[in-house]
Protein backbone atom coordinates (compact mmCIF):
# COMPACT_ATOMS: atom_id res chain seq x y z
CA UNK A 1 0.00 0.00 0.00
CA UNK A 2 1.05 3.54 -0.60
CA UNK A 3 2.42 5.39 2.43
CA UNK A 4 2.37 9.17 2.63
CA UNK A 5 5.67 10.96 2.37
CA UNK A 6 6.23 14.28 4.13
CA UNK A 7 4.70 16.20 1.22
CA UNK A 8 1.50 14.15 1.18
CA UNK A 9 1.13 14.50 4.94
CA UNK A 10 1.85 18.21 5.03
CA UNK A 11 -0.66 18.87 2.25
CA UNK A 12 -3.41 17.01 4.08
CA UNK A 13 -2.55 18.53 7.46
CA UNK A 14 -2.52 22.02 5.99
CA UNK A 15 -5.92 21.43 4.42
CA UNK A 16 -7.34 20.35 7.79
CA UNK A 17 -6.04 23.53 9.41
CA UNK A 18 -7.44 25.63 6.60
CA UNK A 19 -10.85 24.02 6.85
CA UNK A 20 -10.88 24.37 10.63
CA UNK A 21 -10.44 28.09 10.17
CA UNK A 22 -13.16 28.20 7.53
CA UNK A 23 -15.61 26.34 9.79
CA UNK A 24 -14.81 28.69 12.66
CA UNK A 25 -15.51 31.67 10.44
CA UNK A 26 -18.73 30.13 9.16
CA UNK A 27 -19.99 29.45 12.67
CA UNK A 28 -19.02 32.98 13.67
CA UNK A 29 -20.97 34.45 10.80
CA UNK A 30 -17.95 35.73 8.90
CA UNK A 31 -18.82 33.53 5.92
CA UNK A 32 -22.27 33.18 4.38
CA UNK A 33 -23.51 29.79 3.22
CA UNK A 34 -22.99 30.90 -0.37
CA UNK A 35 -19.36 31.64 0.43
CA UNK A 36 -18.87 28.57 2.59
CA UNK A 37 -20.62 25.94 0.47
CA UNK A 38 -17.86 25.56 -2.16
CA UNK A 39 -15.28 25.38 0.63
CA UNK A 40 -17.06 22.62 2.52
CA UNK A 41 -17.70 20.70 -0.68
CA UNK A 42 -13.97 20.80 -1.43
CA UNK A 43 -13.64 18.93 1.85
CA UNK A 44 -16.32 16.38 1.09
CA UNK A 45 -18.98 17.92 3.32
CA UNK A 46 -22.46 17.99 1.81
CA UNK A 47 -25.74 19.07 3.33
CA UNK A 48 -28.14 16.21 2.76
CA UNK A 49 -31.74 15.49 3.58
CA UNK A 50 -31.33 15.05 7.33
CA UNK A 51 -27.89 16.38 8.18
CA UNK A 52 -24.42 17.11 6.90
CA UNK A 53 -22.87 14.16 5.09
CA UNK A 54 -19.11 13.62 4.94
CA UNK A 55 -17.77 11.63 1.99
CA UNK A 56 -14.35 10.19 2.79
CA UNK A 57 -12.04 9.32 -0.09
CA UNK A 58 -10.72 5.80 -0.31
CA UNK A 59 -8.16 6.11 -3.11
CA UNK A 60 -8.76 3.41 -5.72
CA UNK A 61 -10.79 1.59 -3.08
CA UNK A 62 -7.72 0.41 -1.16
CA UNK A 63 -7.23 0.73 2.57
CA UNK A 64 -5.61 -1.03 5.51
CA UNK A 65 -6.88 -2.14 8.89
CA UNK A 66 -5.63 1.01 10.62
CA UNK A 67 -7.65 3.18 8.25
CA UNK A 68 -10.67 0.90 8.47
CA UNK A 69 -10.60 1.07 12.25
CA UNK A 70 -10.46 4.84 12.08
CA UNK A 71 -13.61 4.81 9.96
CA UNK A 72 -15.29 2.61 12.58
CA UNK A 73 -14.10 4.92 15.34
CA UNK A 74 -15.48 8.00 13.60
CA UNK A 75 -18.77 6.20 12.95
CA UNK A 76 -19.05 5.48 16.66
CA UNK A 77 -17.81 8.80 18.03
CA UNK A 78 -19.28 11.29 15.58
CA UNK A 79 -21.99 9.54 13.58
CA UNK A 80 -24.70 7.02 14.37
CA UNK A 81 -22.46 4.00 14.50
CA UNK A 82 -22.44 3.07 10.83
CA UNK A 83 -21.06 4.10 7.48
CA UNK A 84 -22.17 3.70 3.89
CA UNK A 85 -19.79 2.34 1.24
CA UNK A 86 -20.55 3.96 -2.08
CA UNK A 87 -20.48 3.13 -5.77
CA UNK A 88 -17.39 5.34 -6.04
CA UNK A 89 -15.49 3.07 -3.62
CA UNK A 90 -15.75 5.77 -0.94
CA UNK A 91 -17.43 5.90 2.44
CA UNK A 92 -20.13 8.31 3.56
CA UNK A 93 -21.07 9.32 7.08
CA UNK A 94 -24.69 10.44 7.11
CA UNK A 95 -25.08 12.32 10.39
CA UNK A 96 -22.08 14.57 10.75
CA UNK A 97 -22.12 17.87 12.64
CA UNK A 98 -20.39 20.82 11.02
CA UNK A 99 -18.74 21.74 14.27
CA UNK A 100 -17.17 18.25 14.52
CA UNK A 101 -15.89 18.10 10.96
CA UNK A 102 -12.43 19.64 11.51
CA UNK A 103 -11.72 17.15 14.29
CA UNK A 104 -12.91 14.27 12.10
CA UNK A 105 -10.68 15.38 9.24
CA UNK A 106 -7.76 15.73 11.65
CA UNK A 107 -8.29 12.17 12.81
CA UNK A 108 -8.50 10.93 9.23
CA UNK A 109 -5.23 12.71 8.46
CA UNK A 110 -3.49 10.70 11.17
CA UNK A 111 -4.17 7.56 9.11
CA UNK A 112 -3.39 9.14 5.74
CA UNK A 113 -6.99 9.77 4.75
CA UNK A 114 -9.01 12.82 3.80
CA UNK A 115 -12.18 13.94 2.06
CA UNK A 116 -10.53 15.94 -0.71
CA UNK A 117 -11.68 15.28 -4.28
CA UNK A 118 -14.96 13.75 -3.17
CA UNK A 119 -16.99 16.70 -4.40
CA UNK A 120 -16.75 19.73 -6.65
CA UNK A 121 -15.77 20.16 -10.27
CA UNK A 122 -12.35 18.62 -9.90
CA UNK A 123 -10.79 15.28 -10.72
CA UNK A 124 -12.51 13.01 -8.23
CA UNK A 125 -11.09 10.13 -6.26
CA UNK A 126 -9.55 7.66 -8.69
CA UNK A 127 -11.33 4.33 -9.00
CA UNK A 128 -9.86 0.97 -9.88
CA UNK A 129 -10.25 -2.78 -9.98
CA UNK A 130 -10.95 -4.10 -6.50
CA UNK A 131 -8.90 -7.18 -7.33
CA UNK A 132 -5.81 -5.15 -8.27
CA UNK A 133 -2.60 -6.84 -7.21
CA UNK A 134 -4.42 -10.12 -6.66
CA UNK A 135 -6.09 -10.96 -9.97
CA UNK A 136 -4.45 -13.49 -12.23
CA UNK A 137 -5.58 -11.71 -15.37
CA UNK A 138 -3.96 -8.30 -14.89
CA UNK A 139 -0.94 -7.24 -16.97
CA UNK A 140 0.33 -5.02 -14.17
CA UNK A 141 -0.89 -3.70 -10.84
CA UNK A 142 -3.02 -0.65 -11.73
CA UNK A 143 -2.65 0.91 -8.27
CA UNK A 144 0.75 2.59 -8.73
CA UNK A 145 -0.71 4.35 -11.74
CA UNK A 146 -3.88 5.22 -9.88
CA UNK A 147 -1.72 6.62 -7.08
CA UNK A 148 0.35 8.62 -9.53
CA UNK A 149 -2.83 10.05 -11.01
CA UNK A 150 -4.06 10.82 -7.50
CA UNK A 151 -0.93 12.82 -6.77
CA UNK A 152 -1.02 14.55 -10.15
CA UNK A 153 -4.67 15.49 -9.81
CA UNK A 154 -4.69 16.62 -6.16
CA UNK A 155 -4.91 20.42 -6.15
CA UNK A 156 -3.88 20.47 -9.82
CA UNK A 157 -3.94 24.22 -10.49
CA UNK A 158 -5.49 23.92 -13.93
CA UNK A 159 -8.02 21.26 -13.07
CA UNK A 160 -9.50 22.33 -9.75
CA UNK A 161 -12.32 24.27 -11.45
CA UNK A 162 -13.25 22.15 -14.41
CA UNK A 163 -16.57 22.64 -16.21
CA UNK A 164 -17.90 19.70 -14.21
CA UNK A 165 -16.76 16.82 -12.01
CA UNK A 166 -14.32 14.38 -13.58
CA UNK A 167 -13.95 10.68 -12.87
CA UNK A 168 -10.96 8.55 -13.87
CA UNK A 169 -10.69 4.79 -13.60
CA UNK A 170 -7.60 2.61 -14.03
CA UNK A 171 -7.76 -1.12 -14.66
CA UNK A 172 -5.22 -3.60 -15.98
CA UNK A 173 -7.22 -6.62 -17.12
CA UNK A 174 -9.53 -7.44 -20.00
CA UNK A 175 -12.25 -8.30 -17.51
CA UNK A 176 -13.63 -4.95 -16.41
CA UNK A 177 -14.62 -5.09 -12.75
CA UNK A 178 -14.74 -1.31 -12.33
CA UNK A 179 -17.15 0.00 -15.02
CA UNK A 180 -14.11 1.59 -16.65
CA UNK A 181 -15.81 2.73 -19.84
CA UNK A 182 -18.49 4.55 -17.90
CA UNK A 183 -15.95 7.04 -16.56
CA UNK A 184 -14.90 10.41 -17.98
CA UNK A 185 -11.56 8.79 -18.69
CA UNK A 186 -11.12 5.04 -18.58
CA UNK A 187 -7.60 3.70 -18.62
CA UNK A 188 -6.82 0.08 -19.34
CA UNK A 189 -3.18 -0.84 -18.87
CA UNK A 190 -2.04 -3.19 -21.62
CA UNK A 191 1.18 -4.80 -22.82
CA UNK A 192 2.29 -4.36 -26.42
CA UNK A 193 5.43 -6.05 -27.62
CA UNK A 194 6.64 -6.30 -24.06
CA UNK A 195 6.04 -2.62 -23.33
CA UNK A 196 3.54 -1.39 -20.75
CA UNK A 197 1.12 1.24 -21.94
CA UNK A 198 -2.48 2.29 -21.72
CA UNK A 199 -5.60 2.14 -23.80
CA UNK A 200 -7.43 5.43 -23.26
CA UNK A 201 -11.20 5.79 -23.41
CA UNK A 202 -12.70 9.26 -22.99
CA UNK A 203 -16.24 10.52 -22.61
CA UNK A 204 -18.14 7.83 -20.76
CA UNK A 205 -20.51 8.33 -17.91
CA UNK A 206 -23.96 7.70 -16.53
CA UNK A 207 -26.24 10.44 -15.22
CA UNK A 208 -29.01 11.90 -17.34
CA UNK A 209 -27.07 11.40 -20.58
CA UNK A 210 -25.41 7.99 -20.32
CA UNK A 211 -22.60 7.30 -22.76
CA UNK A 212 -20.01 4.62 -23.28
CA UNK A 213 -16.54 6.11 -23.66
CA UNK A 214 -15.09 5.70 -27.15
CA UNK A 215 -11.52 4.59 -27.63
CA UNK A 216 -9.34 7.65 -28.11
CA UNK A 217 -5.86 6.09 -28.19
CA UNK A 218 -5.18 2.36 -28.38
CA UNK A 219 -1.73 2.63 -26.86
CA UNK A 220 -0.08 5.37 -24.87
CA UNK A 221 3.35 4.26 -23.67
CA UNK A 222 3.50 4.31 -19.88
CA UNK A 223 6.22 6.95 -20.04
CA UNK A 224 3.78 9.31 -21.76
CA UNK A 225 0.66 8.57 -19.75
CA UNK A 226 0.63 11.61 -17.49
CA UNK A 227 1.34 13.98 -20.36
CA UNK A 228 -1.44 12.38 -22.36
CA UNK A 229 -3.89 12.77 -19.47
CA UNK A 230 -2.83 16.39 -19.07
CA UNK A 231 -3.56 16.96 -22.74
CA UNK A 232 -6.91 15.17 -22.54
CA UNK A 233 -7.96 17.33 -19.59
CA UNK A 234 -6.67 20.54 -21.16
CA UNK A 235 -8.84 20.10 -24.23
CA UNK A 236 -11.84 19.50 -22.01
CA UNK A 237 -11.02 22.42 -19.74
CA UNK A 238 -10.71 24.69 -22.76
CA UNK A 239 -13.84 23.63 -24.65
CA UNK A 240 -16.11 21.94 -22.12
CA UNK A 241 -19.32 23.91 -21.66
CA UNK A 242 -19.71 26.03 -18.57
CA UNK A 243 -23.02 27.62 -19.55
CA UNK A 244 -25.20 24.57 -18.98
CA UNK A 245 -24.60 22.13 -16.14
CA UNK A 246 -26.38 19.37 -18.06
CA UNK A 247 -24.00 19.67 -20.98
CA UNK A 248 -20.80 20.28 -19.05
CA UNK A 249 -19.38 16.77 -18.73
CA UNK A 250 -16.63 15.72 -21.12
CA UNK A 251 -18.92 13.09 -22.63
CA UNK A 252 -20.99 15.89 -24.14
CA UNK A 253 -17.90 17.56 -25.60
CA UNK A 254 -16.61 14.32 -27.11
CA UNK A 255 -20.05 13.50 -28.43
CA UNK A 256 -20.63 16.94 -29.95
CA UNK A 257 -17.28 17.42 -31.66
CA UNK A 258 -16.85 13.70 -32.29
CA UNK A 259 -14.22 11.31 -31.05
CA UNK A 260 -12.00 11.92 -34.10
CA UNK A 261 -11.88 15.68 -33.61
CA UNK A 262 -11.39 15.33 -29.86
CA UNK A 263 -8.55 12.88 -30.51
CA UNK A 264 -6.97 15.26 -33.01
CA UNK A 265 -7.01 18.08 -30.52
CA UNK A 266 -5.62 15.94 -27.73
CA UNK A 267 -2.81 14.69 -29.94
CA UNK A 268 -1.97 18.26 -30.89
CA UNK A 269 -1.98 19.32 -27.24
CA UNK A 270 0.01 16.26 -26.27
CA UNK A 271 2.89 17.32 -28.49
CA UNK A 272 3.09 20.60 -26.60
CA UNK A 273 2.57 19.06 -23.17
CA UNK A 274 5.16 16.35 -23.66
CA UNK A 275 7.90 18.96 -23.76
CA UNK A 276 6.98 20.16 -20.25
CA UNK A 277 8.46 17.20 -18.41
CA UNK A 278 5.27 16.21 -16.58
CA UNK A 279 5.89 12.48 -16.68
CA UNK A 280 7.51 11.31 -13.48
CA UNK A 281 11.17 10.38 -13.36
CA UNK A 282 11.76 6.66 -13.24
CA UNK A 283 12.94 6.87 -9.64
CA UNK A 284 9.65 8.42 -8.47
CA UNK A 285 7.58 5.85 -10.29
CA UNK A 286 9.78 3.14 -8.82
CA UNK A 287 9.29 4.60 -5.34
CA UNK A 288 5.52 4.45 -5.70
CA UNK A 289 5.51 1.05 -7.36
CA UNK A 290 7.66 -0.44 -4.61
CA UNK A 291 4.93 0.33 -2.10
CA UNK A 292 2.58 -1.92 -4.01
CA UNK A 293 4.96 -4.85 -4.11
CA UNK A 294 3.17 -8.15 -3.55
CA UNK A 295 3.05 -9.20 0.10
CA UNK A 296 5.13 -12.11 1.33
CA UNK A 297 2.82 -14.86 0.15
CA UNK A 298 3.23 -18.30 1.63
CA UNK A 299 4.75 -20.24 -1.26
CA UNK A 300 3.81 -23.51 0.44
CA UNK A 301 0.21 -22.56 1.19
CA UNK A 302 -2.00 -25.57 0.50
CA UNK A 303 -4.43 -25.35 -2.39
CA UNK A 304 -7.00 -27.73 -0.98
CA UNK A 305 -10.03 -26.40 0.85
CA UNK A 306 -12.20 -28.57 3.08
CA UNK A 307 -15.75 -28.20 1.75
CA UNK A 308 -17.42 -30.40 4.35
CA UNK A 309 -19.62 -27.61 5.72
CA UNK A 310 -22.30 -27.12 3.05
CA UNK A 311 -23.02 -23.48 3.94
CA UNK A 312 -19.33 -22.69 3.72
CA UNK A 313 -19.11 -24.48 0.37
CA UNK A 314 -21.92 -22.34 -1.05
CA UNK A 315 -20.17 -19.15 0.08
CA UNK A 316 -16.88 -20.45 -1.27
CA UNK A 317 -18.38 -21.03 -4.70
CA UNK A 318 -20.13 -17.68 -4.80
CA UNK A 319 -17.95 -15.13 -3.04
CA UNK A 320 -14.41 -16.45 -3.40
CA UNK A 321 -12.41 -16.25 -6.62
CA UNK A 322 -9.00 -17.35 -7.80
CA UNK A 323 -5.88 -15.48 -6.76
CA UNK A 324 -2.76 -15.18 -8.89
CA UNK A 325 -0.79 -16.80 -6.07
CA UNK A 326 -1.37 -20.54 -5.60
CA UNK A 327 -2.78 -21.40 -2.20
CA UNK A 328 -4.47 -18.01 -1.87
CA UNK A 329 -7.88 -16.61 -2.77
CA UNK A 330 -9.78 -13.34 -3.09
CA UNK A 331 -12.76 -13.00 -0.76
CA UNK A 332 -15.64 -10.63 -1.42
CA UNK A 333 -17.62 -9.70 1.66
CA UNK A 334 -21.20 -8.98 0.68
CA UNK A 335 -22.73 -5.88 2.25
CA UNK A 336 -26.11 -7.01 0.93
CA UNK A 337 -27.56 -9.20 3.68
CA UNK A 338 -31.23 -10.13 3.42
CA UNK A 339 -33.28 -7.18 4.61
CA UNK A 340 -30.20 -4.97 4.93
CA UNK A 341 -29.21 -1.68 3.37
CA UNK A 342 -26.83 -2.07 0.42
CA UNK A 343 -23.40 -0.73 1.33
CA UNK A 344 -24.11 -0.03 4.99
CA UNK A 345 -21.87 -1.46 7.69
CA UNK A 346 -21.95 -0.89 11.43
CA UNK A 347 -18.85 0.21 13.28
CA UNK A 348 -18.66 -3.27 14.81
CA UNK A 349 -18.72 -4.84 11.35
CA UNK A 350 -16.15 -2.36 10.04
CA UNK A 351 -13.89 -3.18 12.97
CA UNK A 352 -14.34 -6.89 12.41
CA UNK A 353 -13.42 -6.64 8.75
CA UNK A 354 -10.34 -4.62 9.77
CA UNK A 355 -9.37 -7.41 12.15
CA UNK A 356 -9.82 -10.03 9.44
CA UNK A 357 -7.75 -8.01 6.99
CA UNK A 358 -4.95 -7.64 9.49
CA UNK A 359 -4.98 -11.28 10.47
CA UNK A 360 -5.74 -13.00 7.19
CA UNK A 361 -5.17 -10.64 4.25
CA UNK A 362 -1.79 -9.02 4.71
CA UNK A 363 -3.52 -6.00 6.21
CA UNK A 364 -5.25 -5.07 2.97
CA UNK A 365 -8.85 -4.28 2.16
CA UNK A 366 -10.73 -3.10 -0.86
CA UNK A 367 -14.05 -1.40 -1.46
CA UNK A 368 -15.89 -2.32 -4.65
CA UNK A 369 -18.06 -0.09 -6.81
CA UNK A 370 -20.79 -2.65 -6.15
CA UNK A 371 -20.72 -1.58 -2.48
CA UNK A 372 -19.02 -4.68 -1.16
CA UNK A 373 -15.69 -5.22 0.60
CA UNK A 374 -12.80 -7.44 -0.43
CA UNK A 375 -10.09 -9.29 1.43
CA UNK A 376 -7.67 -9.56 -1.48
CA UNK A 377 -5.04 -12.01 -0.22
CA UNK A 378 -6.42 -14.82 1.94
CA UNK A 379 -4.67 -18.17 2.33
CA UNK A 380 -7.07 -20.89 1.29
CA UNK A 381 -6.31 -22.65 4.55
CA UNK A 382 -7.77 -19.64 6.38
CA UNK A 383 -10.96 -19.35 4.37
CA UNK A 384 -13.09 -21.35 6.78
CA UNK A 385 -12.01 -19.25 9.76
CA UNK A 386 -12.72 -16.08 7.78
CA UNK A 387 -16.15 -17.36 6.79
CA UNK A 388 -17.02 -18.31 10.38
CA UNK A 389 -16.12 -14.84 11.61
CA UNK A 390 -18.12 -13.21 8.82
CA UNK A 391 -21.10 -15.47 9.43
CA UNK A 392 -21.16 -14.56 13.12
CA UNK A 393 -21.17 -10.87 12.16
CA UNK A 394 -23.92 -11.20 9.57
CA UNK A 395 -21.49 -10.66 6.72
CA UNK A 396 -21.41 -14.07 5.05
CA UNK A 397 -24.22 -13.60 2.53
CA UNK A 398 -23.30 -15.83 -0.41
CA UNK A 399 -24.78 -13.65 -3.13
CA UNK A 400 -21.96 -12.00 -5.04
CA UNK A 401 -23.25 -10.96 -8.50
CA UNK A 402 -26.61 -12.60 -7.86
CA UNK A 403 -29.98 -10.86 -8.01
CA UNK A 404 -29.84 -9.80 -4.35
CA UNK A 405 -26.33 -8.30 -4.67
CA UNK A 406 -28.09 -5.05 -5.50
CA UNK A 407 -26.39 -1.72 -6.01
CA UNK A 408 -28.62 0.97 -4.56
CA UNK A 409 -27.91 4.62 -3.99
CA UNK A 410 -29.07 6.12 -0.67
CA UNK A 411 -32.12 7.47 -2.51
CA UNK A 412 -34.82 9.59 -0.98
CA UNK A 413 -34.19 8.17 2.47
CA UNK A 414 -31.01 10.23 2.69
CA UNK A 415 -30.27 12.21 -0.47
CA UNK A 416 -31.54 15.71 -1.15
CA UNK A 417 -31.29 15.17 -4.91
CA UNK A 418 -33.32 11.95 -4.97
CA UNK A 419 -36.84 11.65 -6.32
CA UNK A 420 -37.64 8.21 -4.98
CA UNK A 421 -36.41 5.76 -2.39
CA UNK A 422 -33.97 3.09 -3.51
CA UNK A 423 -33.27 1.14 -0.34
CA UNK A 424 -36.81 -0.09 0.46
CA UNK A 425 -37.07 -1.28 -3.12
CA UNK A 426 -33.80 -3.20 -2.79
CA UNK A 427 -35.17 -4.76 0.38
CA UNK A 428 -38.43 -5.78 -1.30
CA UNK A 429 -36.59 -7.33 -4.23
CA UNK A 430 -34.31 -9.09 -1.77
CA UNK A 431 -37.32 -10.50 0.03
CA UNK A 432 -38.99 -11.62 -3.21
CA UNK A 433 -35.84 -13.48 -4.30
CA UNK A 434 -34.81 -14.56 -0.81
CA UNK A 435 -34.45 -18.25 -1.64
CA UNK A 436 -30.69 -18.79 -2.14
CA UNK A 437 -31.28 -21.71 -4.51
CA UNK A 438 -33.53 -19.53 -6.67
CA UNK A 439 -30.87 -16.82 -6.75
CA UNK A 440 -28.21 -19.27 -7.84
CA UNK A 441 -30.53 -20.73 -10.45
CA UNK A 442 -30.91 -17.25 -11.94
CA UNK A 443 -27.13 -16.92 -11.97
CA UNK A 444 -25.27 -13.69 -12.58
CA UNK A 445 -27.83 -10.91 -12.56
CA UNK A 446 -26.70 -7.40 -11.80
CA UNK A 447 -29.57 -5.30 -10.52
CA UNK A 448 -28.94 -1.62 -9.92
CA UNK A 449 -31.21 1.06 -8.50
CA UNK A 450 -30.89 4.83 -8.68
CA UNK A 451 -33.22 7.19 -6.87
CA UNK A 452 -32.81 9.92 -9.47
CA UNK A 453 -31.47 10.65 -12.91
CA UNK A 454 -27.97 11.32 -11.58
CA UNK A 455 -27.55 7.54 -11.60
CA UNK A 456 -25.35 7.05 -8.53
CA UNK A 457 -26.88 3.58 -8.38
CA UNK A 458 -25.56 2.83 -11.90
CA UNK A 459 -28.99 1.79 -13.18
CA UNK A 460 -27.94 2.33 -16.80
CA UNK A 461 -25.37 -0.45 -16.33
CA UNK A 462 -27.70 -2.93 -14.68
CA UNK A 463 -28.68 -6.14 -16.39
CA UNK A 464 -31.85 -4.96 -14.74
CA UNK A 465 -31.85 -1.27 -13.93
CA UNK A 466 -34.36 0.74 -11.96
CA UNK A 467 -34.68 4.50 -11.97
CA UNK A 468 -36.83 6.20 -9.36
CA UNK A 469 -38.74 9.25 -10.56
CA UNK A 470 -41.19 11.69 -9.04
CA UNK A 471 -44.58 11.32 -10.67
CA UNK A 472 -46.81 14.07 -9.39
CA UNK A 473 -45.42 13.78 -5.89
CA UNK A 474 -45.39 10.00 -5.68
CA UNK A 475 -42.56 7.55 -6.25
CA UNK A 476 -42.51 5.81 -9.59
CA UNK A 477 -39.95 3.41 -10.99
CA UNK A 478 -38.76 2.96 -14.57
CA UNK A 479 -37.42 -0.43 -15.46
CA UNK A 480 -34.60 -0.98 -17.96
CA UNK A 481 -32.96 -4.13 -19.25
CA UNK A 482 -29.71 -5.01 -20.93
CA UNK A 483 -27.14 -2.73 -19.33
CA UNK A 484 -23.65 -3.77 -18.35
CA UNK A 485 -20.72 -2.03 -16.75
CA UNK A 486 -18.33 -4.86 -17.51
CA UNK A 487 -16.11 -5.49 -20.54
CA UNK A 488 -19.29 -6.21 -22.50
CA UNK A 489 -20.42 -2.70 -21.64
CA UNK A 490 -23.87 -1.57 -22.76
CA UNK A 491 -26.61 0.80 -21.67
CA UNK A 492 -29.95 -0.54 -20.56
CA UNK A 493 -33.13 0.18 -22.49
CA UNK A 494 -36.35 1.28 -20.79
CA UNK A 495 -39.06 -1.38 -20.95
CA UNK A 496 -42.01 1.01 -21.06
CA UNK A 497 -44.26 2.81 -18.57
CA UNK A 498 -43.11 2.90 -14.96
CA UNK A 499 -44.46 1.14 -11.89
CA UNK A 500 -45.13 1.76 -8.26
CA UNK A 501 -42.92 0.06 -5.70
CA UNK A 502 -44.76 -3.25 -5.60
CA UNK A 503 -45.42 -3.18 -9.31
CA UNK A 504 -41.75 -2.97 -10.21
CA UNK A 505 -40.95 -5.95 -8.01
CA UNK A 506 -43.62 -7.95 -9.85
CA UNK A 507 -42.23 -6.75 -13.17
CA UNK A 508 -38.74 -7.90 -12.26
CA UNK A 509 -40.07 -11.31 -11.36
CA UNK A 510 -41.85 -11.56 -14.70
CA UNK A 511 -38.60 -10.59 -16.41
CA UNK A 512 -36.61 -13.25 -14.58
CA UNK A 513 -39.33 -15.83 -15.25
CA UNK A 514 -39.07 -14.97 -18.94
CA UNK A 515 -35.33 -15.44 -18.80
CA UNK A 516 -35.68 -18.84 -17.17
CA UNK A 517 -38.19 -19.90 -19.82
CA UNK A 518 -36.09 -18.69 -22.77
CA UNK A 519 -32.50 -19.23 -21.71
CA UNK A 520 -30.20 -21.60 -23.46
CA UNK A 521 -27.55 -23.59 -21.61
CA UNK A 522 -24.89 -21.36 -20.10
CA UNK A 523 -26.68 -18.12 -20.82
CA UNK A 524 -26.82 -15.39 -18.21
CA UNK A 525 -29.87 -13.11 -18.00
CA UNK A 526 -27.96 -10.53 -20.04
CA UNK A 527 -27.02 -13.05 -22.72
CA UNK A 528 -30.59 -14.18 -23.17
CA UNK A 529 -31.82 -10.60 -23.33
CA UNK A 530 -29.26 -9.79 -25.98
CA UNK A 531 -30.17 -12.86 -28.01
CA UNK A 532 -33.96 -12.55 -27.91
CA UNK A 533 -34.31 -8.79 -27.55
CA UNK A 534 -36.72 -6.68 -25.54
CA UNK A 535 -40.01 -7.92 -27.00
CA UNK A 536 -40.52 -11.19 -25.08
CA UNK A 537 -39.62 -9.45 -21.84
CA UNK A 538 -41.90 -6.55 -22.61
CA UNK A 539 -44.80 -8.86 -23.37
CA UNK A 540 -44.29 -10.68 -20.09
CA UNK A 541 -43.86 -7.52 -18.05
CA UNK A 542 -46.85 -5.65 -19.43
CA UNK A 543 -49.01 -8.64 -20.33
Partner 1 sequence: MRILTGNDLASGDVTWWTGTGWSRHLDDAADVADQGEAIARAEEGARRVNVPYVIDATMTADGPRPAHIKDRIRALGPTVRPDLTLKPADPNAGSWVI
Binding site for partner 1 (CB under 8 A): 26-27, 29, 33, 47, 49-52, 80, 95-99, 341, 412-414, 416, 418, 421, 423-424, 427, 473-475
Give me Rg for the CA atoms of the chain: 23
* Closest distance to partner 1 from the beta carbon of 433 (Å): 18
* Closest distance to partner 1 from the beta carbon of 311 (Å): 27
Distances from the Cα of 280 to the Cα of 90, 128, 221, 287, 482, angstroms = 27, 21, 13, 11, 41
C-alpha 88/C-alpha 65 separation (Å) is 20
Nearer to partner 1, 119 or 361 (CB): 119
Nearer to partner 1, 29 or 157 (CB): 29
* Closest distance to partner 1 from the beta carbon of 29 (Å): 5
C-alpha 55/C-alpha 152 separation (Å) is 21
* Closest distance to partner 1 from the beta carbon of 145 (Å): 37
Nearer to partner 1, 259 or 469 (CB): 469
C-alpha 266/C-alpha 358 separation (Å) is 44
What angle is formed at CA 180 by the lines to CA 400 and CA 512, rounded to 5 degrees?
Answer: 40
* Closest distance to partner 1 from the beta carbon of 451 (Å): 11
Query: First vs last Cα of the chain: how many Å apart?
Result: 54
DSSP states of 25-42 as a string? Answer: HHHTTSS-HHHHHHHHHT
Q: Please state whether beta strands 320-322 and 91-96 pair in parallel, antiparallel, or not at all (unpaired).
A: unpaired
Q: Contact at 8 Å (CB) between 41 and 119?
A: yes
Q: Please state whether beta strands 365-367 and 215-221 pair in parallel, antiparallel, or not at all (unpaired).
A: unpaired
Nearer to partner 1, 80 or 538 (CB): 80
Nearer to partner 1, 54 or 479 (CB): 54
Q: Describe the crossing of helices 259-274 and 250-257 by its angle, rounded to 10 degrees.
A: 110
* Closest distance to partner 1 from the beta carbon of 112 (Å): 27
Nearer to partner 1, 26 or 165 (CB): 26
Distances from the Cα of 370 to the Cα of 68, 83, 300, angstroms = 18, 15, 33
Q: Which of 214, 262, 210 is nearest to 234 (CA)?
A: 262
Nearer to partner 1, 53 or 252 (CB): 53
* Closest distance to partner 1 from the beta carbon of 415 (Å): 10
Q: Contact at 8 Å (CB) between 456 and 476?
A: no
* Closest distance to partner 1 from the beta carbon of 512 (Å): 24
* Closest distance to partner 1 from the beta carbon of 83 (Å): 13
Q: Please state whether beta strands 373-379 and 328-333 pair in parallel, antiparallel, or not at all (unpaired).
A: antiparallel
Q: Which residues pair with 478 in a beta bridge?
A: 467
Nearer to partner 1, 32 or 244 (CB): 32
Distances from the Cα of 213 to the Cα of 173, 196, 202, 281, 465, angstroms = 17, 22, 5, 30, 20
Nearer to partner 1, 381 or 447 (CB): 447
Amino acid sequence: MYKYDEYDQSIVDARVDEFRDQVTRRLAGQLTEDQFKPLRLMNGLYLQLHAYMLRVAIPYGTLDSRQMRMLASIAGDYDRDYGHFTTRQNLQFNWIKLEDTPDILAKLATVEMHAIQTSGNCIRNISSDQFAGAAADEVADPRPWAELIRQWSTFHPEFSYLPRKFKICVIAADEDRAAMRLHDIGIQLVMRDGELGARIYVGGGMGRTPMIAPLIRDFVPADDLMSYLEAALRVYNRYGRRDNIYKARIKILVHEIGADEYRRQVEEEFVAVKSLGLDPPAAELARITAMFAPPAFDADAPDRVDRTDPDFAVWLDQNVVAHKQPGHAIVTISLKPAGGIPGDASSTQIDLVADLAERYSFDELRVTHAQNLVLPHVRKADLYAVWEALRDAGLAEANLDLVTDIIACPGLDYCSLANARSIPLAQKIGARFADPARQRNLGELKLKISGCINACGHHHAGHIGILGVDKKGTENYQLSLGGSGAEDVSLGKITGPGFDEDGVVDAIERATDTYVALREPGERFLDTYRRVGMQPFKEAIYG
